[in-house]
Amino acid sequence: MRRPVKDKKPSKKMSRRAFILMGAQIGFMGILALRMRQLGIKQSEQFRLLAEENRINLQLVPPTRGLIYDRRGRPIAINIPIYRIQMVREQASDPEEVLRKLSQIVPLSEEDISSVLENMSKRRPWVPVTVTEDITWEHVASVAANAPSLPGISPIVGSYRQYPEAHEYSHILGYVGPVSDYDLSKTEDDDPLLRIPRFQIGKNGVETRVEKDLRGKAEIKRVEVNSRGRVMREIDSKPGEPGKNLQLTVDNTVQKAALDRIGEQSAAAVVVDVRNGDILALASAPTYDPNKFVTGISVPDWQALNENKYRPLANKAVSGTYPPGSTYKMIVALAALEAGVIKSDEQIRCLGHVEVFNRRFHCWKRGGHGRVDLARSLRESCDVYYYDIAQRVGIEKISEMARRLGLGTRHDLPLPAIREGLAPTKAWKQSVKGKDWFVGDTLNAGIGQGFTLASPLQLAVMTARLSAGTNIQPRLINTIGEDLMPIKGNEALDIDPEHLALVRRGMFEVVNHRRGTARGSRIRTEGMEMAGKTGTSQVRFITKAERARGVIRNEDLPWERRDHALFVGFAPYDNPKYALSVIVEHGGGGSKAAAPIARDIMLAALERDKTGYGPLPSQKRRTDDPDEQTPIAQSPPKDRA
């Protein structure tokens, strides 16, 4: 019986599959051959070096940190050369033995050696660790001469920050310091520069707020090294960028004048150019020496600063908030004028106090001022006048006017811990305190007490806006590199110019009228007359019993229980150029403690009346600048140009 003939189609299909598979194999082998040719011929040199003990290393060359200048081009933050000794653990067969040999050349204690070994154990083997720094050239030369017996050790010339005008700018510039594990833990910045041992970053002030611009970008080098870690040749490099220079708006002369005039008191002063918002002075006292922080402050120095009751580390000009006292009365007056609840010639009778719901609110003048209009209320600082108009206008409109003039808002400056103060409202008290707003709260706010808080910066901005009639914004940096920072806030305030003129006239009489509270601090030079307002901020509660027997004088109280003294002002009155604020913590009366300081600072600004900026040195850096952190040659670095 014959078998049926098999269908031949499946065999044809199998042949086609085999053909496709064979083609794929040939293609894969071709790609593999091309890759092997690339690796074996074109990149053979590179991989030969990698095979021989990983002899290609990447090196980061830290950029030069940008310099900082005042408005005249005077350097106030510079870089100076420093000699360091670094060690790479993987290049030293026995790091402890090498360190002990090094200690015979460079002063190293047992504690220093232990610290270096501990630091190396926390880092990867190829990461260099600083052994010691700020050593002499003689030590560096000795280390270089003994290099063969000190594997892994290399002398480096780098730079560290120095502040020539240390105390004058401590609260503005802040300081730099070595990057720490804590710094790394709180940043998302993946810049490899931050992993370099002892690399300095901004820790406070402008140094930290403009850190990335000041830092620059590292140069990245690929170098060939021999088995002992010695650099044989440079393969290639990616150029870095030096940090950008900054020019501040601060005038060195005015800044010094403010701090010199404040002296040893706990105080702050701010001077603003009313035409463009430039901050000419931002002074907080007492100051400190930021140079002590650059390489690490000692425990005794830190304790002395931290335990000082005058708080030298705090920048009181922007982070200190105080009841503004009578300097707030211009805000209340404008709110009432804008709301139409008073007229400039309307008189209110002051008997020395008012009673609201069986509670007595006192005027500073026990016998009262008699009949008072707007000009006199400012000139003689009558509290009863403002108790009355505050009730009429209400807290909501008062606080809205305060915010319009720069209080109760955070100003955008490159400084840490800028406080926004407080322009309270009924909703705020209910939300924060869980209580209703009372009429007495409004009366207290009417004279700048109670919940109301403002910083010296805010009070200076308020005065600048009052004097110029524009929504001027404070400005601390003029240029970053070649970029000019914008001037903001030249638009007119949404306030009736006639109302602003009435308030400015009252401020003029405060200083220049024979009954003005600041007459003793007037500027007598024609054309330079100052207008202003004194303020006394109460920090303690005065009981009814104390008032009956006589209020205790500030001089007879402990320092921390005395009133704060305030003054705000602008000049010249007919053509305003500068506005300022001064607060003396627990200084007593504003007319005695703050106004004389303000007058002298204003005179310094007017006498230094040059609004232009000084030229900056060329930003081009020499290739042999010792601030570039590179392995040093066998001779001292050249002097800076």
Active site residues: 326
Sort residue 277 into left (φ over 0), alpha (ψ -120 to 50) or beta.
Answer: left
Q: Tell me the residue length of the chain.
A: 641
* β partners of residue 531: 570
What is the C-alpha to C-alpha distance for residues 334 and 494, in angstroms, rounded to an integer?
11
User: Which tokens sit at 417?
Assistant: 């811990």
Which two tokens mark 401? Answer: 């006017």
| Most distant CA atoms of the chain, gap in Å | 143
Residues 611, 280: contact at Cβ < 8 Å? no
SS3 of 26, please?
helix
Alpha-carbon gap, residue 66 to 14, rounded angstroms: 73
The DSSP 8-state label assigned to residue 328 in this structure reads G
Strands (E), 179-302: 200-204, 219-225, 231-238, 246-248, 267-273, 279-285
**Cβ-based neighbours of 320, under 8 Å, separated by 6 or more:** 268, 284, 314, 419, 455, 456, 583, 585
- Radius of gyration for the alpha carbons in the chain, expressed in angstroms and rounded: 35
Strands 231-238 and 477-480: unpaired
User: Residue 460: which of 349, 548, 576 has the closest Cα?
Assistant: 576
Helix (H, G, I), strand (E, B) or coil at 90: helix
Which residue is it, tokens 């990616």? 238
Q: How far apart are CA 376 and CA 509, in angstroms?
A: 8
User: Which residue from 98, 151, 509, 131 is spatially nearest to 344, judged by alpha carbons?
Assistant: 509
Are the CB atoms for 587 and 539 separated by under 8 Å? Answer: no
Across the chain, how many H-helices and E-strands are there?
23, 22
Helix (H, G, I), strand (E, B) or coil at 573: coil
Going by C-beta distance under 8 Å and a sequence separation of 6 or more, which residues neighbour residue 122?
none
Residue 30, both tokens: 């071709």
CA distance 413 to 144: 47
